[in-house]
Each structure stands twice: as C-alpha cells, then as structure tokens.
Structure 1
Amino acid sequence: MSDQLTFAMENRERILAVENSFGPSGKSLLESGRILVGEGRLMKLCRRCPQPKVFFLFNDILVYGSIVMAGRWNKNQHIIRLEEVQQEDLEDSMEMSNQWLIKTPQKSFYVGAASAEEKQAWMEHIENCRSQQLQRLGLPANAPAVKDFAATWIPDHASAICMRCSERFSVAHRRHHCRRCGFIVCNSCSKARAVLRHISSKPVRVCMLCKVTMEGQERLQRQMKNQVRNQPGKEWKTRSGSNIQYDTSSEEDADELVENSSPTQWFSSQDNSSPYCYFNPDHIKPPRWCCFTTSGLQAHYI
C-alpha cells in the first residue's frame, strides 16, 4: 500500500513536470489513471529536414513537441490518443536511420531513433500501451479504432518540381502540400480547399486532382442514396451538410526548432505493471525501481 502511494505521488510529480515544461501554451496532462511510461528524443522528419523532438509516452496518449531548452522548456505541444495510432516498421532511408511511421487521423509522420534497440523499445512500448488502452475502452485490439489516417507529407527536398504540373519551384513559385495525398504541389495546383473530417473541421489545402476525385466520390454517394431512396419499402433518413466544403485560405504549418537528441529512458515499478518515466534528475529524486535502457535492464536501488 505504501509503495503504491509513493508511486502515485511520484507519477503525479512527473506528469506535472512534463506539463509545466510546455508552459502556459500546453494543455493539462494530469488525469486520473494516467501514467507516464517513457520519455526521450526522436528524430522527426519535417518538411525541410529531420529535426529532434521530445516525446512523452503515457499509458493512454503520446505527447511530443519542439525543444527550446533540453529537459526544461518545450513548445508546440501535440497530443495523440493511442487508440488512434497505427505504426509501420520501415527500412533505413537517406534522411533517417532506425525509422518507422506513426499514423494518426490528424497527422502521420516518420520518426527515427538513435539505435535499432531504442527503435524497437519505442515501438513495443507504444503498441503495448495502445493494446491496453483499446482493452480499457472495450475496442478490439487487432483493429484500428479509426478508418482514415492523414497522408504522410513528402519532404520538400524530395522534388524540385510540382508533382502535378511539373513546373519548377522557385522563390516566387513556392512549395505546398496537399493534405489529402501529401504530394508537393505549387499554389496553382492546390488552390482548392476541402474539409477532411479526420484532419480538421476547417477547410484545408488539397490539390486539384484530389478535389476532382473527392467531388466524383460525392456524386457517386448521392447517386447511391437516390437509388436507395427511390426503392419501394425503404425508409430514408436525410443528413444535412456535405462532407466536402471549399474555401480560399489556409496556412502552412510553422517551422520548428532544431536541438540535439539523447537516449530514451524507460522505468517500471517492482511488479512491472505500472511503467513510467523518470523525467529529470534536477527536478525529482530518482525512483527505487528498475530502469529499462537500450543496453538492457538495469536495477537502481536508493
């Protein structure tokens, strides 16, 4: 009982430390039953190049952000619900080694670890926490909780020309990304805006080909609904609104800061049922339990 109380108090302090590291712009992370599992820095493939980001794995969410001051101050907080995560193992690329793909409805992106062992540890911890979260929610563990995942953006340097019209990019002819297919396109080829429900409730940039494809799908859906409506003995319930709406404005994602990366630290309690992460030795006294490192299991007793 005493060990459980001590663990709960230290876990609370660690979550508050993570929450405070994002300052007033970050969202509250302290919730009943939430446990901090691991913390580390991974390389994230951004628009221009891979950049180190700080990642915090909880038993129900994955949080990451940009590093302002290592271990103390972060910004651009992103929160991902683990039941919406799907991982895909990948081979090394020219941009990053030890990489894999994290897919979510709002955003999909490539991340890379410092070593193959650290990559494996991250993927296994994320999948274990995801499976346990699906079980808590009463959802099947062998199927994703969502159907639509955001397209992975192709990095800017991957193409010097628009991937739709083949016009060469320049200072005046800028690069943009279609939110539906992830292709690099020019402004002329991506003037359309559409609401992609799994990404945003506001219209986002899409290329002309995706616009035509989505309009065709919408027409087909209307035709199928009309056929069902006209069948005798069928009851039809109308739904207001369209899945596609168009607008004329959208903002590109802001650039993010670059910092050095460091190894991930994994911790677990004595019964190995409540894993958590030791956030920072300058903030909190180290725990009296076991630490998972990339070189194996190391016990620390204080």
Structure 2
Amino acid sequence: RSKTRLKEKKRASAKFYCDVEAERESSTDGDVPRVSSRGSGSDRMLEPTETKGEDTDELLEMAEGLQKEMTQVLVDRQKKLLESFDSELSAQRAESESREQRLGEEKESPSLMPRKDLPSTHSSASEVSWQGSSEEESDGEETRNMSLDEAARHRRKRKRMYIARELASSEQVFVDALHLLNKDFREAVRAASEERGSPIVPDDVLDQILKHLPHLVDLNEELLGQLQERVDNWEGREQVADVLIKMGPFLKLYSSYIKDFEAMTAALVEAKKKYPEFQKVVHNFEQSTRCRQLTLQQYMLKPIQRIPQYRLLLTDYVKNLEVDTPEYRDACSALEIVSQVAQHANESMRLGDNFSKLMSLQNRISNRYEVLKPGRTFLKEGELMKVSRKEMQPRYFVLFSDSLLYLLPTPQGFYRVNYELPLSGMKVTVRPQQDYQNEFSVYTMKRSFILSASSPEEREEWLSALNKAIEDNIHRKSSFHVLKKEGSQSSSSSELGREAPVWIPDQRVTMCQLCTSGFTFTHRRHHCRACGKVVCAACSSHRLPLPYLGDKPVRTCDDCCRSLQVGESGEHPDAEGEGDLVQTKERKKARGILQEVAANDQGSSMSGYLHQWWKKAWKRQWFVIKEHVLYVYRASEDVAALRTVPLLGFQVGAVKKGFEEVPREQLFLLEHTGLDPLIFYADTPDLAARWQEAMEEATKLS
C-alpha cells in the first residue's frame, strides 16, 4: 500500500510539471510563462499510467529541468525591464541637466519674473505642489525597489529640496520688488526732477514714503546670497535653517516697517495730492512694464506679507525633516524666530484695529493668499454651517469691504482659502418658513450656497453686514459708466446659466421636481447645473454649456434646456443628449389638485414640519396651509402633495390623553363630525400655538 501511495504522489507531481511544460510551449517568446493548475487534453495524453509503464523518476527530473528553465526566463525578463528603466532614467537625467543649464543662462539677465524651475511667491500652493509631484513621478522607478520606509525618506528628501528652492526663488522675487521701490522708483523721480530742473517732491517726503527700505534691501540681498549658495550646492550640504537663524535678529527690521506702514502710505497719498508732477510720475511708473500693472502700494505691502511666507515655508520644511537630525533642531529654532518676529510685529503695531485684524488673518491662513490689499477693510468673521447635498458642514467666513472669503480649517490649526467671492453681483436672500429661520442663501457668479447661523439673531447680523457691504461696494464705484456696467451685469446675472445656482439639498426632496416620480435606490437624484433643482436621470439627459462654468457642457434639466435653447437663433447649437427638446416629454403626472401648490409655495399662510399620528406611528412631514386647505408633503421641496385636507368645517382642539412620550402643550388635533381626528405635535410649544392659530383661521370663511 505504501508503495502504491508513493506512486500516486509521484504521478500527481509529474502531471503538474507536465502542465507547466504544456503552458511553456503554448506561451509566446516575449511573455513570462504562466503556471496552470488545470490540465488540457494534451496533458492527459502525457499523464502516466501503469499500463504504459512510464518512469516516474524520469518525469520528475524533467520537471526539475523545466522549473530551472522557468526561473531563467523570469531572470532574463527582469534584466530587460531593469535595462529599460536605466535607459529612461538616464534620458531624464540628461534632460534635467540641460534644463538646469538653460536656467543658469537665464539667471544672468535680471528680471522681475521668477526662475522657471523655482516657483515664485505669486505661485499658488497647488502650483508648487504640482511641480514637486511631477518631479517625483519622474523618479518613481527609482523608489520601486526600495522598502516603504526608504521610499518615504526619499520623498521627504526631495520635498526638502523643493522647499529650499522655493525659499530661494521667492526671496529672489522679493528682493527684486524691493529694488523696484528703493532703486527704480527713486530713479524715475530723480529723472523727472532733472528734466524739470527742480525737485518734483521734497527729498524728506520721498524718504518718508520709502522709509526702512534701504535697510531691508541690504538685509534681504545678504539673505538671498546665502540661500542661493545653499541651493546651488544642495547635494553636498542639505542645510538651510542655519541661514535663517543667523539672520534672525535682523528680521526685526520688519517690525519697524510694519509699525510705520500706515504713515508711509498716508505720506504717498498726500504727496500725490500736493505735488501734481509727482502724481504723474507715479502714474506713469505704475503703468510701465516694470510694475506689471501693480500699484506702488501693492509693492509696499510685500515686506508685510514676507514674514508669513517664511513661516509657511519653514512649517512645510520641518514636516519633511527627520526628527533625530541637527537640521530638524535648527529648522525648529528658525521657525520659532520667524514666529516671534511676526508676534513682535503684531505687538509693535499701532495702526488701528483694521490693519491689526488683517495682519492677524494673514498669519492664520496657510495657503499663499494675500489678505492685505490696498483699500481693503475688515468687516466681520465667524463660523457658519454650509447646507450641502447630504449634511451640514462647518465653514469659516470672513467679510471684507470687497469680497467674502470662504475658508476651510486645516489639521495644523490654520485656515485655507477655498473661494474668494467678490461682492460685485452678489445677492443674499432668506426663506420665510419657520423651520429655516436660521438660514440664508448667497448667490454669486462663481459659487452659490445655503448657510445656516446658530440663531436667528446671528443670521440677522450676517444679513445686515452682507447687504451693507454690497451696497457700499456699489456706491464706491463713483463713475456713472461703472455703475451702469454693474447694473447691467446684475440684471444679466439673474438669467439662467449666468450665475451659479443654489443646489437644493437631497434630503429636502423625495421626488423628481419635474415629473414627480419618487426617488429610490435605483431611481437616483441628479442636480440641474442651471437652476439647482433635483431631478431624475430621464428629466436631465441633456448637457449644455453654461456661461458661469466657462461654457463647459454640464447636466441640465429638460425645462432649463428648453429655456436655454430658445435664443436669437431659436436653438442652442451645443446641446448634447438624446431626444427632441422641442417636443414635450411624456411625464408621470400627479393628480392636478396635488400639484396646485408646491411645498415651498411663497403665498402660503403657514408652512413647516409637523409630526402626525398616521397608521399607529408618528410621521414627520411637511405641511402647508393655503386658502383653507392643508397640503401634506414628504419633504420641504417636493412639487406634489401626498394628500390634501379641506379645513373648512374642522375644529382645532387639545389632545386630552395618550401619547405620554410627547409633552401635552405640543399636542393638538383637528376633528370633524364623522371623521377620525387628525393628531399632530410640533417641536416646541410656541410652534404648536402658531400652528393652532393658523389652522383655526383656515377653518373659517373670512
């Protein structure tokens, strides 16, 4: 028996290796052989049997040979892959070296534009991240054979290099801006004075306008030289934090500049009013290509914005350092020095609440957004809940005299600018329903949404501040033509597709707002990008380009498609989808009486959520009273009612017993002779009293 078992085992092994041989012969030369666990017909022919008397040991030797051949094939395949990877990497290195050589040649000509391989301070955080990620992809194969820890260290090393480059390149741009103010502008004033034969502005006034700039130029030129030297020799010495530690005590010059900034800008404004020739020189200088369409005041803000930039870059640098290295300790010390300089600047300022508030906001925003802008005034800030499709989300908003900032919190305790919404063309509306007494809607060309405050009082504060800021922004446009232009934009912005609609939240709609078919797990919700309604797929099968989205074709409902198609040409040429929009689509229609009044009808005497005792359970539904009829809906934005109750002849009364889980003062009922009573309860006693009063009024003919 033992011999028989041994033979069976050897036969199975032989069959397995014969399968391998068959697979190897059927595979192509360039492919890696695959091992199959199932035998083919030819395999069965090779299967050893006792009748044929094949030698099992010989088959095993053959299988071992096949296994060695397979191993050799895999090794050859890996060698080919490695050779191709090496050739690609060498080509990428050659391209990188040629690019660096070109950049070195461009560096010799001075320009305000930053180096192409070094992102400038004008670059957004996403742009810097993109440049880094593309470099990382180029050496992705380099980390393929590394362990996870080694690959992570390699990525952090490259990120440190990118941050060091960004620090040096942004310093180059900043120093160039200082040269523009302290050298080029002074030269323009001197040339105009020589041409006139006398000074166009007294020297002491010009020195007051450009106060502290000569010292800042010297400081930052020295800092730039050291940073550039470290970046150029990065492979040999991957350190940059000690440079900032060495220059740290001198960075307090920024505090003096910030403290005197308001006096400097006031001196500039006064000098332009007092000396017409000086005003002309300033205007011509700002219009020159050197200024790149920026004003002197905007350039004078650069030193104030530089300290927060140092802090942000150092924060990213520290996050990518190994904790147990000397550079990590130096970077933490440098970050502490820069933070102290920013704090010292805030403490030394005596410029008024507005400037201090703007500076504080600048230090709390993590991405490279410039809070400080000429003429900008801080008005209000606070947290509001944004009503999204699925849920309420906390968001932080800051209202300025020219825009509304929409901020998102970051894990580091800062804020990131998600949107900057200009006040021009902005509209604010509220809903009258008691259930939405904390909500208001904001409409802009770029983005529209519903916000919810913590209380009706807070909502009124935001409404008042927003409406006043919008009105003041319009009045600041002094010329008649500008006002006329804004008025035309405001009227056109209300046209379909020209401004972003507010999307109706999913939970407030249970049926398609066009055909009234109910939504289910398979019959899903879709939002029209033109009006914001919630519709089904059948009612939104077309795509049209909308102006507020840059004419990108997006999903639109059938009603909006018809409205947008009817133009001067009578038909929109870029409509995408199936079907003829001119013909009316056959829709599932609810009974006429159920569609007479929508759940959000503005002409109703009372509307809101109530709980009704229905089929031995409490059901929360939306109720509307209009013209002596009570309409019942599943949700607050449904377009067809579930049922209606004519209220004439009913009496409103109190519930005297039962329902112990509900407070007695929140319960009430409607009763009619010969009918079962309709029992309700409201969320608060005050709301219950209001509903009883509205129902009593609706039960009587006035």
The verdict on how the C-alpha distance between 1:145 and 1:209 changes in structure 2, with shifts beyond 3 A counting, is closer
Matches for 1:52-201 after TM superposition, within 5 Å: 52-69=394-411, 72-75=413-416, 77-94=418-435, 96-138=436-478, 139-140=482-483, 145-147=489-491, 148-149=493-494, 150-201=500-551
Match of 1:51 in 2: 393
CA contact (8 A) 2:365 2:417 kept: no
Match of 1:288 in 2: none
The verdict on how the C-alpha distance between 1:246 and 1:31 changes in structure 2, with shifts beyond 3 A counting, is farther
SS in 1 for 2:473: helix
SS in 2 for 1:189: coil
Shift, 1:107, TM fit: 3.1
1-side partners of 2:380 and 2:520: how far apart? Answer: 42
TM-score (norm 1): 0.62
SS in 2 for 1:210: helix
1-side partners of 2:508 and 2:457: how far apart? Answer: 28
May I ask how many residue pairs the two structures share in their alignment?
Answer: 221
Please tell me the residue identity of whatever aligns with 1:166: T
CA contact (8 A) 1:15 1:36 kept: no
Match of 1:245 in 2: 574
The verdict on how the C-alpha distance between 1:105 and 1:162 changes in structure 2, with shifts beyond 3 A counting, is same
The verdict on how the C-alpha distance between 1:93 and 1:72 changes in structure 2, with shifts beyond 3 A counting, is farther
The verdict on how the C-alpha distance between 1:68 and 1:160 changes in structure 2, with shifts beyond 3 A counting, is farther
Please tell me the residue identity of whatever aligns with 1:65: L
1:222 aligns with 2:222: no
SS in 1 for 2:365: helix
Please tell me the residue identity of whatever aligns with 2:404: L
SS in 1 for 2:546: coil
1:37 aligns with 2:379: yes
Match of 2:359 in 1: 13
Match of 1:212 in 2: 562
Shift, 1:124, TM fit: 1.6
Percent pairwise identity: 26
1-side partners of 2:399 and 2:561: how far apart? Answer: 36
Gaps spanning 5+ residues in structure 1: where? 224-241, 249-302
2-side partners of 1:93 and 1:193: how far apart? Answer: 36
The verdict on how the C-alpha distance between 1:84 and 1:91 changes in structure 2, with shifts beyond 3 A counting, is same
Please tell me the residue identity of whatever aligns with 2:457: E
Gaps spanning 5+ residues in structure 2: where? 1-258, 264-350, 495-499, 578-702
Larger radius of gyration: 2
Shift, 1:12, TM fit: 4.0
2-side partners of 1:244 and 1:29: how far apart? Answer: 42
SS in 2 for 1:179: coil
Please tell me the residue identity of whatever aligns with 1:161: M
Q: Deviations over 1:194-249 (max 9, x none)?
A: 1221344322220122212221x22xx136xxxxxxxxxxxxxxxxxx9763457x
The verdict on how the C-alpha distance between 1:3 and 1:213 changes in structure 2, with shifts beyond 3 A counting, is closer
Q: Which has the higher helix share?
A: 2
CA contact (8 A) 1:42 1:52 kept: yes
The verdict on how the C-alpha distance between 1:3 and 1:74 changes in structure 2, with shifts beyond 3 A counting, is closer
SS in 2 for 1:198: helix
Shift, 1:54, TM fit: 0.9
Please tell me the residue identity of whatever aligns with 1:113: A
Shift, 1:52, TM fit: 2.3
The verdict on how the C-alpha distance between 1:30 and 1:3 changes in structure 2, with shifts beyond 3 A counting, is closer
Q: Which has the higher contact order (CA 8 A, sep 6+)?
A: 1
Q: Deviations over 1:63-90 (max 9, x none)?
A: 1134445x93345712211121112233
Please tell me the residue identity of whatever aligns with 2:377: I
2-side partners of 1:135 and 1:108: how far apart? Answer: 23
Shift, 1:56, TM fit: 0.8
The verdict on how the C-alpha distance between 1:88 and 1:12 changes in structure 2, with shifts beyond 3 A counting, is closer
CA contact (8 A) 1:15 1:30 kept: no
Query: How large is the Cα RMSD of the aligned pairs?
Result: 3.2
Q: Which has the higher strand share?
A: 1
2-side partners of 1:92 and 1:134: how far apart? Answer: 30
CA contact (8 A) 1:92 1:98 kept: no
Shift, 1:191, TM fit: 2.4
1-side partners of 2:385 and 2:537: how far apart? Answer: 29
2-side partners of 1:144 and 1:103: how far apart? Answer: 16
The verdict on how the C-alpha distance between 1:213 and 1:144 changes in structure 2, with shifts beyond 3 A counting, is closer
SS in 1 for 2:469: helix
SS in 2 for 1:190: coil
Shift, 1:130, TM fit: 1.6
Shift, 1:146, TM fit: 1.9
Shift, 1:31, TM fit: 2.2
TM-score (norm 2): 0.29
Shift, 1:185, TM fit: 1.3
CA contact (8 A) 2:376 2:400 kept: yes
Please tell me the residue identity of whatever aligns with 2:464: E
Shift, 1:59, TM fit: 0.8
Match of 1:203 in 2: 553
The verdict on how the C-alpha distance between 1:170 and 1:55 changes in structure 2, with shifts beyond 3 A counting, is same
2-side partners of 1:143 and 1:126: how far apart? Answer: 18
CA contact (8 A) 1:59 1:133 kept: yes
Shift, 1:58, TM fit: 0.8
Q: Deviations over 1:10-44 (max 9, x none)?
A: 24413413532xx36xx444322222221101122
SS in 1 for 2:462: helix
SS in 1 for 2:559: helix
2-side partners of 1:40 and 1:159: how far apart? Answer: 30
